[in-house]
Amino acid sequence: MTGLMISLADAVAMIPDGARIMIGGFLGVGTPHRLIGELVRQRRRGLTIIANDTARPHFGIGRLIDEKLIKKLIVTHIGTNPETQRQMIAGDIEVELCPQGTLAERIRAAGYGLGGVLTPTGVGTLASEGKRALEIDGRTFLLEPPLKADFALIGAHRADYCGNLAYFLTARNFNPIMAMAADMVIVEPHEIVPVGVIGPDEVVTPHILVDYLIEREHHHG
Amino acid sequence: MDDKILIATRVARELHDGALVNLGIGLPTLVAKYLPAGVEVFFQSENGLIGMAPVPEAGMEDEYLTDAGGGHIGAIPGSCSFDSCLSFGLIRGGHLDVTVLGGLQVDEAGHLANWMVPGKMVPGMGGAMDLVTGAKRVIVAMTHKAKTGSKIVERCTMPLTALRRVDLVVTELAVIEPTADGLMLKEVAPGVTPAQVAAATAAKLLIPKSVPEMTLAT
């Protein structure tokens, strides 16, 4: 099991302009902040970002907004970032708003090999525009298509030497499902520990899903 | 009593012991502070936790233990964390007993609009559409009036959050229950008359002969 480790710079060098990227996190909690910083440093442009939100200016995905590196957003909420709203109103960013549970299920559908999901959420609202409605046992559901990406940037608490991942409290959020739904999965863990430290029952994301682990920052010389 | 505290106190009386409850950001968050004595509920935070609690003491905040507004929280013994799919499975799948949400408008059909003001503010729906669609009971906690007029209207002019009829609306003036027949005035705030509620409401209110005053004691 070798070849998992990669430097921050080399990892982002694999991501082209215009890439479609899922980024884990919820208002910056569980977000891979170093990878975002490196996307900014290497000036990746025209990105399509799939995420829960755009955090706030100068923080988390908000940094990609600050630098105008995003072409399209598929998110559930932008209320915490006035700059995202400003760019949307100015026509600089295309924003597709998706109910949070629906976003999660669309990502899961892609990762689990499903052709979409049927959800009652959004029926009769603006979220149903352009969607097929189906009636099942007398209830109306919307057919929501799966959502895939070229890259998933994952924030994890722990990775082991194989690439098994565990998360911490509310930093889990979208990370495990995104790790299933992208062609290449790049993980920014807080700790990298020997195999066995994360017991089989504590592994949330199995190692076979992980392509690369970002090297840690070294604080001890 | 401050309007928001009054609303939170009255909503808190709707929560039963052992319930799984989701509180929206803003006014609804206050409800947790006014639970009646002896009632223990489990608070879900839709970013992935059951067992949300206040931070026990300043300095004990953890950057990976946050609510759906990104604020620091604590967690009670027995808390559990999970991913966004499971969190919304709980919400959509009929496992969430009560959601308390803020509102921009509620109309005679009991429809709620609470996620965007066209042309002005487009924050996005976040989890609101799933919560209103899926929770067993939906309580709207909001002030009765906005600067532009009553928030209780004949028909919502702002985009709907869901087609589901909400179960209860609690304002600083009244408790109103949307029913198949229309908006039923159930209670008035202390010192408020049904006529005053009707005057502050831009929708038809069904007013029974006798309307009790809200009980606020905890």
**pLDDT tens for each residue of B138-190:** 999 999 999 989 999 999 999 999 999 999 999 999 999 999 999 999 999 99
Q: Per-residue confidence at B119, pLDDT binned at 50, 70, 90? A: confident
Supply the mean pLDDT for chain B: 95
| DSSP helix/strand/coil, A158 | strand
Which residue is associated with the tokens 């994301």? Answer: A205
Contact A177 B83 (CB under 8 A): yes
Distance CA B99, CA A27 (A): 21
pLDDT < 70: residue spans in chain A = 1-2, 219-221
Residue given tokens 């009636």 in the structure block: A135
**Among all chains, which residue has been given the structure tokens 């895939």?**
A148
Picking from B64, B85, B163, the nearest residue to A108 by CB comes out as: B85
* Domain assignment present for A219: no
Dist CA B142 CA B168 (whole Å): 11
Question: DSSP 3-state assignment of B45?
Answer: strand
B chain contacts of residue A144, beta-carbon cutoff 8 Å: none
pLDDT value at position A84? Answer: 97
Three-class DSSP category at A105:
helix
State both tokens at B14. Answer: 């709707």
Residue A100 domain boundaries = 5-123+147-214
For B5, phi and psi rounded to 5 degrees? -70, -40
Q: What is the pLDDT of residue A217?
A: 80
pLDDT number for residue B218: 60
Q: What pLDDT, on the 0 to 100 scale, is given for residue B90?
A: 98
Contacts of B46 in chain A (CB under 8 A): 100
Whichever domain contains A103, its CATH number is 3.40.1080.10
The number of residues making up chain B comes to: 218
Domains contained in chain A, number: 1
* Choices 3.40.50.800, 3.30.70.20, 3.40.140.10, 3.40.1080.10: CATH for B3-206: 3.40.1080.10
ipTM of the complex: 0.95
Q: How far apart are CA A137 and CA A171, in angstroms?
A: 37
Q: Residue B74: which pLDDT band, with cuts at 50, 70 and 90?
A: very high
- Would you say B105 and B156 are in contact if contact means Cβ atoms under 8 Å apart? yes
Give the pLDDT band of residue B26 (cuts 50, 70, 90). confident
* pLDDT of amino acid B192: 97
Looking at beta carbons, which residues of chain A come within 8 Å of B121?
79, 85
Q: What pLDDT was estimated at residue A198? A: 98
- Count residue pairs from A and B with Cβ separation < 8 A: 143
Which sequence spans correspond to the domains of chain B? 3-206
Q: Which pTM does this prediction carry? A: 0.96
